[in-house]
Amino acid sequence: MGRCSQRGVDDATRGSGDRDRCLDRRDADEAELASKRSQGGCDGGAELDQAASSITTLGGELTAAGLSPGTTGNLSVRLTDGILCTPTGVALGALDPARLSRLDRDGHHRSGPRPTKESVLHAAIYAADPSIGAVIHLHAPYVAAVSCLAGLDPYDAIPAMTPYLTMRAGPVAVVPYAAPGSARSAAKLGALVARGHRAILMANHGCMAIGGSLSQAASIAYELEQAAMLHLVMWGLPVRRLSASEVSELRRAVS
């Protein structure tokens, strides 16, 4: 393996234990909040504070991991009365929990700074499936590179080479290229989410990672970047991919 390829492997795997522990802790916090909300015991202020804290913390983690260069990428969480998302023009590593954008359930701006132009994509995803609790959009390096490849399978773009892409993300779909934040992309994303896709490449752009919680969406985002890295590093080599029966077995195990 070449030096650049080895660096990619090292970068993608370094600190994964710490990252998993952070995700586990956030999962526990989000589960507690969701339980209180379902029982009617969570006030809007607590919900908003928890969502803002989770978004800003994860934004820093994604930036530190090299998955959000510059001011690219955006995050959102579904609230009881709408959506909380990151503002336009702010690096994910420099987010202020008091300076996030609040949207109504249809994605219209209600308060806070101007939201990311791609908030329309987030709103379309939430509208497609009420079980979705968080959305992450990234221009992570390997994901962005794979999104530029021609001839990707629109419903299974990255072949399964390890169990974890299948177990955490499922089949990776592709939305055809459109200008960032376009209504056309929003409609296609909504249709794919309604089909059950939770990891979606946006052609010549990046990806959407979608989960029931922000921790789940983050786990999908990290796994998708890892799978994209493997896909490129192993390009042209005689790869043993998981068989259809092995993939089916994994899907049954996590269903």
Reported as a single tens digit per residue, the pLDDT across 133-172 is 999 999 999 999 999 999 999 999 999 999 999 999 999 9
Residue 254 has a pLDDT of 86
The yes-or-no verdict on residue 18 having pLDDT over 60 is no
As for how many domains the chain has, the answer is 1
Residue found under tokens 């994901």: 143
* Integer Cα distance of 197 and 59 in angstroms: 23
35-72 pLDDT, tens per residue? 544 445 555 799 999 999 999 999 999 999 999 999 99
Half-sphere exposure of 52 (CA within 13 A, CB side): 16
Residue 25 has a pLDDT of 53
* Close Cβ partners of 165 (under 8 Å, ≥ 6 residues apart): 158, 172, 199, 223, 224, 226, 227
Band of the pLDDT at 250, cuts 50, 70, 90?
Answer: very high
The yes-or-no verdict on residue 21 having pLDDT over 90 is no
The answer to whether 132 and 211 have CB atoms below 8 angstroms apart is yes
Strand 134-138: give its sheet, edge to edge.
109-111, 101-103, 82-85, 74-79, 134-138, 206-211, 199-202, 172-175
- Share above pLDDT 90 across residues of the chain, in percent, rounded to a whole number: 80
Band of the pLDDT at 190, cuts 50, 70, 90?
Answer: very high
Band of the pLDDT at 94, cuts 50, 70, 90?
Answer: very high
Residue 2 has a pLDDT of 44
* Integer Cα distance of 79 and 99 in angstroms: 16
Q: What mean pLDDT do residues 187-212 have?
A: 98
Q: What mean pLDDT do residues 109-119 have?
A: 97
| Of 126 and 9, the one with more pLDDT | 126
The yes-or-no verdict on residue 5 having pLDDT over 50 is no
The answer to whether 133 and 212 have CB atoms below 8 angstroms apart is yes
Say which of 30, 47, 61, 118 is annotated catalytic.
118
Residue 20 has a pLDDT of 54
| Of 14 and 186, the one with more pLDDT | 186
222 tagged catalytic: no
Amino acid, single-letter form, for residue 110: R
Both tokens of 15, joined, read 């600190």
Which residues form the domain of 201? 3-254
| Phi/psi at 164 (5° precision) | -75, -30
Lowest mean pLDDT: which of 8-22, 169-183, 232-246? Answer: 8-22
118 tagged catalytic: yes
Residue 6 has a pLDDT of 46
- Tell me what the pLDDT averaged over the chain comes to: 88
* Integer Cα distance of 186 and 191 in angstroms: 9
Tell me, what CATH number does 26's domain have? 3.40.225.10
Band of the pLDDT at 1, cuts 50, 70, 90?
Answer: very low
